[in-house]
Structure 1
Amino acid sequence: MNPTPDSLRAAGFTGLRVVGDVHGDIRGFTAAVAGAEASRLFLIQLGDLTDHGPDNAAVLRAMFAVIDAGRGLFVLGNHDHKLRRALMGQSVRMERDGLGRTLDQIMAAPDAATLKARAIAEIGRAPAWLGLGRLLCVHAAFHDGMLQHPSPPDAGEARPEGLVGRAIFGQVTGRRGADGFPIRLTGWVDRIPSWLTVLVGHDNRSHDGRPVTMTGLRGGQAIFLDTGAGKGGALAWQDFSLAEAGLDSPQGPPFFVAV
């Protein structure tokens, strides 16, 4: 389903569950999905469903089942975008324990053809960002333009430029840290309006396995929900009631929808 305040209330949802990067952690994702269903929470996953973890094919099946039941969706991550390109036969840089593992697991699955076709379709139409009341869900980084413009309907299919590039890659310095990963900038946090909370994944800034919250100069907040799932850490998620999300009445902050 396309989430709006009216449709969420009409379907009996009591709030939202926003889930960080899964990276093939089927055990953690199964728990997140089951808990959301039990509590009548609409699930929004922040992208990077696959790569690295033990069962990437199972995570894709679980996410598609949530979509089919009208109980959630995922926003586009850079790993999702890259997976689609690989499944389409395009040349991509391959990490043996990352995308390589995902492709091996998909191709070895008994439903490989169906799973491949479904992944291509769902990633192709996934929104690059999604605004709901006082929340904005995006994989990597916020930009003011996301408050004025919905995600392009072909974000998952097209070359990631402009706002879509910011949404799935964030801001980088062009340099790499000692761990080999790109050094990313977080100055965008200072541009978040005071009424808005931005939920992102992509960048694991946690030192204790819990999500990290940063408050910007304008008073807005960013919550970093990537806590290393599929790479040795646990999967993290954050729950919001409809009131906390600003979805309990037609009044209040502007509502933005990207699907």
Structure 2
Amino acid sequence: MPTVETLRSAGFAGLRVVGDVHGDSRGFAAAIAGAEAARLFVVQLGDLTDHGPDSPAVLRATFALIDAGAGLFLLGNHDHKLRRALAGDAVRVEKAGLGRTLEQLAAAPDGAALRERALDEIARAPAWLCIGPWVFVHAAFHDAMLQHPCPPDAGAQRAEGLVGRAIYGQVTGRLAADGFPIRLVGWVDRIPAGITVMVGHDNRSRDGRPVTMTGARGGRAVFLDTGAGKGGALAWQDLRFDAPGLEAAQGPPDAPAS
């Protein structure tokens, strides 16, 4: 897994952290182009596919980043479910979500190759990642993530324990008015001072911009899901290695929505 030192030595000036993409290929292409111009390593927080207009293009762009050593993606619940479906497991297929991705892959000229590559890459995608003072995770943090490395095959496992927390978070069992689960954020209080957790999964934005919460121990969580692929624009934040305390961040959620 990358560190500040290995990324610096490879010529990167920092990180571009990209929220849930959900098939928004245009927004993702803009995020990648800007990262390349600024020499930023891309960390995408999971949920590459479903809902948006072109999940195959998002997968192609992600695999190109990996091949170039210029980025990676974390394991999200939608990625985990996609792999299970591609592996032939019985899963619930939501027509506007996973169903749309499977239809797009079936229609893509390189769909078979994308499916095979997705099986491999999702199987080894990290469920959480620590770089410097930042922790990257799709859904929710637990302080045990600071002591335990992520299993190397998290995407091929049942989502239990820390992996389950990482990709699903904590839910109340109730649904909000929009039909999505009501999620708990008490885990924010477990973040130690000096640590910033970059997280997706839970769209808490009211203005299209990422939301920052500070917990009881002084740590912070930045929520980067702003509804890309579901009517919102894709959001990202830049974390530069030369900033004082490695804490400077900015994130224009101004990539064009598809």
Give the TM-score taking structure 1 as reference length.
Answer: 0.93
Q: Deviations over 1:80-131 (max 9, x none)?
A: 0000000111110111010000001111111111110000000000000000
C-alpha change, 1:79 and 1:69, in structure 2 (3 Å) is: same
The alignment's C-alpha RMSD in Å is: 1.3
Unaligned runs of 5+ in 2: 248-258
CA distance in 2, matches of 1:240, 1:175: 35
CA distance in 2, matches of 1:189, 1:148: 17
Residue type matched to 2:219 in 1?
Answer: G
Find the residue that maps to 1:44 and give its secondary structure: strand
Find the residue that maps to 2:157 and give its secondary structure: coil
CA distance in 2, matches of 1:245, 1:185: 32
Identity rate of aligned residues, in percent?
A: 74
C-alpha change, 1:34 and 1:245, in structure 2 (3 Å) is: farther
Pairing 1:125–2:128 present: no
CA distance in 2, matches of 1:10, 1:136: 21
Structure 1, 42-51 or 104-113: larger mean CA deviation: 104-113
What does residue 257 of structure 1 align with?
Answer: none
Find the residue that maps to 2:52 and give its secondary structure: coil
Deviation at 1:154, TM superposition (A): 1.1
Residue type matched to 1:196 in 2?
Answer: I
Pairing 1:27–2:26 present: yes
In the TM superposition, structure 1's runs of 4+ consecutive aligned residues that sit over 6 Å from their partners are: none
**Does the Cα contact within 8 Å between 1:138 and 1:201 map onto a contact in 2?**
yes
Unaligned runs of 5+ in 1: 249-259
Find the residue that maps to 2:155 and give its secondary structure: coil
**Does the Cα contact within 8 Å between 1:29 and 1:235 map onto a contact in 2?**
yes
Find the residue that maps to 1:146 and give its secondary structure: helix
Structure 1, 36-45 or 175-184: larger mean CA deviation: 175-184
Residue type matched to 1:31 in 2?
Answer: A
Deviation at 1:245, TM superposition (A): 8.9
Residue type matched to 2:187 in 1?
Answer: W
Residue type matched to 1:75 in 2?
Answer: L
Find the residue that maps to 1:179 and give its secondary structure: coil
Q: Deviations over 1:61-81 (max 9, x none)?
A: 000000000000000000000
Residue type matched to 2:114 in 1?
Answer: L
Residue type matched to 2:66 in 1?
Answer: I
**Does the Cα contact within 8 Å between 1:133 and 1:246 map onto a contact in 2?**
no
CA distance in 2, matches of 1:178, 1:167: 24
Give the TM-score taking structure 2 as reference length.
Answer: 0.93
What does residue 164 of structure 1 align with?
Answer: 163
CA distance in 2, matches of 1:245, 1:39: 18
Deviation at 1:244, TM superposition (A): 4.2
What does residue 52 of structure 1 align with?
Answer: 51
What does residue 63 of structure 2 align with?
Answer: 64
**Does the Cα contact within 8 Å between 2:239 and 2:246 map onto a contact in 1?**
no
What does residue 253 of structure 2 align with?
Answer: none
CA distance in 1, matches of 2:110, 2:246: 38
Pairing 1:141–2:127 present: no
Q: Deviations over 1:197-252 (max 9, x none)?
A: 0000000000000000000111110000000000000000000111449679xxxx
C-alpha change, 1:226 and 1:16, in structure 2 (3 Å) is: same
What does residue 43 of structure 1 align with?
Answer: 42
Q: Deviations over 1:159-207 (max 9, x none)?
A: 0000000000001111112222111000011111111000000000000
What does residue 229 of structure 1 align with?
Answer: 228
Find the residue that maps to 1:156 and give its secondary structure: helix
Find the residue that maps to 1:50 and give its secondary structure: coil
Between the two proteins, the alignment pairs up a number of residues equal to: 247
CA distance in 1, matches of 2:178, 2:16: 31
What does residue 106 of structure 2 align with?
Answer: 107
